[in-house]
């Protein structure tokens, strides 16, 4: 089944502290956003990419798309103040597709086999997310750092992107969140509130999001062993 993907890349990258949007940081001489776009460019099931960007970075993004010959971007859309607003803007530009994926521009190491598993689950269930079991022991603590409890680890999942949906499901979830002024940290949290069941597809630990400087060290190590 074919799909379209909304890629939010309109953040500031504040926690990365690189003095620019982290999408433009180079890994093995190639910008992060190009690594991410290439995954979908190469996937024959991806019929279009909606790239969400900052208005004042449009020229830079257009240059990169031309330089690296990225052909599948059907729309360059301007983002909003929060990730959720950026995704909403992108979603308005999905055309002729039953399935939409949302995938962070800052998550360049997703494997196509997981994308296909995810799409299959979304076709069957309406909503599916990629996640991995939590490996660490998790504790809840008060603001003054006293432990309140150790959270039972079984059943805890660290959630990634892509997240995949029937377009009608994600649209309904976003419209409801707007009406209720709810801001979530991922798309699935909006869908859960519909309410509607969300299915987990188990991914791998290499699909990291580049958030802080340390992640760039991991990213270089992942790329060294990357086969695509």
Q: Which residues bind ligand CTP (CB under 6 A)?
A: 8-16, 22, 52, 79-83, 86, 104-106, 209, 211
Of 31 and 105, CB closest to ligand CTP: 105
In whole angstroms, the minimum distance from the beta carbon of 227 to Mg ion comes to 30
Select the binding partner of residue 13 from ligand CTP, Mg ion, none (C-beta < 5 to 8 A, by kind): ligand CTP
Q: In whole angstroms, how close is the CB of 155 to ligand CTP at the nearest point? A: 25
Q: What is the DSSP string of the chain?
A: --EEEEEE-----GGGTSSS-GGG-EETTEEHHHHHHHHHHH-TTEEEEEEEE-GGGHHHHHHHHHHTT---EEEEEE--SSHHHHHHHHHTT--S-SEEEE--TT-TT--HHHHHHHHHHHHHHSEEEEEEE--S-EEEE-TTS-EEEEEP-TT-EEEEEEEEEEHHHHHHHHHHHHHTT---SSHHHHHHTSS---EEEE--TT-----SHHHHHHHHHHHHT---
Nearer to ligand CTP, 22 or 166 (CB): 22
CA dihedral 88, 59, 209, 187 (to 10 degrees): 0
Rank residues 161 and 166 by Cβ distance to ligand CTP and give the closer one: 161
Q: Which is nearer to Mg ion, 11 or 203 (CB)?
A: 11
| Partner interacting with residue 95 (select from ligand CTP, Mg ion, none; CB below 5-8 Å by kind) | none
86 binds, among Mg ion, ligand CTP, none (CB under 5 to 8 A by kind): ligand CTP
CB of 214 to ligand CTP, least distance (A): 13
Q: Could you tell me the smallest distance in angstroms from the CB atom of residue 153 to ligand CTP?
A: 24
Chain contacts with Mg ion (rule: CB under 5 A):
11
- Contact in structure between 17 and 113 (CB atoms under 8 Å): no
Cβ proximity to ligand CTP, 72 vs 107, nearer residue:
107
Q: How far apart are CA 219 and CA 28, in angstroms?
A: 10
Nearest residue to ligand CTP, scored by beta-carbon proximity: 11
Between residues 13 and 162, which has the closer beta carbon with respect to ligand CTP?
A: 13
- Write down the least CB distance from residue 5 to Mg ion, Å: 19
Least distance from ligand CTP to the Cβ atom of residue 37, Å: 12
């Amino acid at each position: 089944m074919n799909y379209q993907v909304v890629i939010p890349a309109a953040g500031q990258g504040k926690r990365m502290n690189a003095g620019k949007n982290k999408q433009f940081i180079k890994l093995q001489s190639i910008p992060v956003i190009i690594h991410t776009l290439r995954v979908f460019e190469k996937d024959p099931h991806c019929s279009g990419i909606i790239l969400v960007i900052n208005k004042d970075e449009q020229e830079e993004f257009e240059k990169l798309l031309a330089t690296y010959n990225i052909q599948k971007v059907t729309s360059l859309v301007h983002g909003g103040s929060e990730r959720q607003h950026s995704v909403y803007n992108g979603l308005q530009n999905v055309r002729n597709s039953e399935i939409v994926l949302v995938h962070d521009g800052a998550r360049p190491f997703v494997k196509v086999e997981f994308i296909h598993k995810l799409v299959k689950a979304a076709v069957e269930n309406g909503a599916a997310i990629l996640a991995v079991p939590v490996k660490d022991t998790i504790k809840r603590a008060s603001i003054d750092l006293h432990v309140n409890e150790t959270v039972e680890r079984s059943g805890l999942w660290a959630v990634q992107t892509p997240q995949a949906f029937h377009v009608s499901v994600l649209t309904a979830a976003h419209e409801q969140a707007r009406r209720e002024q709810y801001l979530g940290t991922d798309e699935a949290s909006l869908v859960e509130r519909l309410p509607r069941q969300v299915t987990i597809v188990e991914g791998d630990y290499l699909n990291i999001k580049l958030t802080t400087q340390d992640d760039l060290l991991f990213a270089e190590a992942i790329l060294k062993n990357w086969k695509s």
